[in-house]
Chain A
Amino acid sequence: MNILFYIAALIAIFATVRMVTGTNAVHSLLYLIVSLLSVSVIFFLLGAPFIAALEVIIYAGAIMVLFVFVIMMLNTGSGGVRKEHELLKASTWIGPGITSAILCGEMLYVLLAPAFHPMNRIEIPPAAVGALLFSKYILIVELAAFLLAAGIIGAYHLGQKPKLSHHRYLKNEEAAT
């Protein structure tokens, strides 16, 4: 069973790297889905089957479909691909690469320092999660509900096409810009 963890981890890292370095948006998206699926395998191995299912359904399913919609809707064409290709030169990578590498190194240093601590593979059933969610964390659940409501309203508002303004002052302003 342990070998499954390592394989899934390697696939996740590999797919994420390909996603970040890819030039085609659809390909990158597919790599991202692969990465998310492999992380969901890890969740399953860690005794969180409910979360693994959520990861597949919501992350790899719903959210990624949104991305697909937007990519298809905007349809930037192959010009964007070529431009992205020019951007992926060493000089653009060197600063962010070093920063991320230092951060990663520091985190590894911190994580490897303490003593061995095994991860239990005791399965925590969804019922336990739900019970905790609606007792101890009920306030945060409501806050999350607010957040989602705000997200819906915000997305609806932002997604509208700009209306034609009939006010003459605004019209003059638009003409000036």
Chain B
Amino acid sequence: MTIPMQYGLLLAAILFCIGLAGVLVRRDVIFMLMSVEVMLNAAGLAFIVGGAARSSADGQVMFIFILAMAAAEVSVGLALIIQLYQKFKTLDADSASQLNG
């Protein structure tokens, strides 16, 4: 009846890497932000799996913190996207490269 812990962690790793690929490939900042959400969610999944393997609530506590962080990150990130769009009239992340040294 039990599923090996590895499988849960495997799923987390795969989701994380798909999200990473999304961040690296996409130029549209909205897509990048969504991919980051996937990565955060994958990290949260890994915590839950760890917590389940040890039958402790710590994993879930960590997930709640990740959730809070994700909420803050998304609100600021979306506000930044709006600013970016107002300034550059595009959502292309590569066009906002004024910080090049």
- Smallest CB-CB separation from A104: which chain B residue? B17
Main secondary structure of the interface of A (DSSP, over half): helix
Contact of B8 among A42, A124, A154, A158 (CB under 8 A): A42
- Give chain B residues whose Cβ lies under 8 Å from the Cβ of A165: none
Interface presence of A119 (CB below 8 A)? yes
A75 nearest CB across to chain B (Å):
10
- Give chain A residues whose Cβ lies under 8 Å from the Cβ of B63: 48, 51, 54
B34 touches A67 (CB 8 A): yes
A155→B71 CA distance, assembly (Å): 11
Residues in chain A within 8 A of chain B (CB atoms): 1-2, 5, 9, 12-13, 16-17, 19-20, 25, 28-29, 32, 35-36, 39, 42-43, 46-48, 50-51, 54-55, 58-59, 62-63, 66-67, 69-71, 73-74, 76, 80, 83-84, 87-88, 92-93, 95-97, 99-101, 103-104, 107-108, 111-112, 114, 116-122, 124, 128-129, 131-133, 137, 140, 144, 147-148, 150-152, 154-159, 161-162
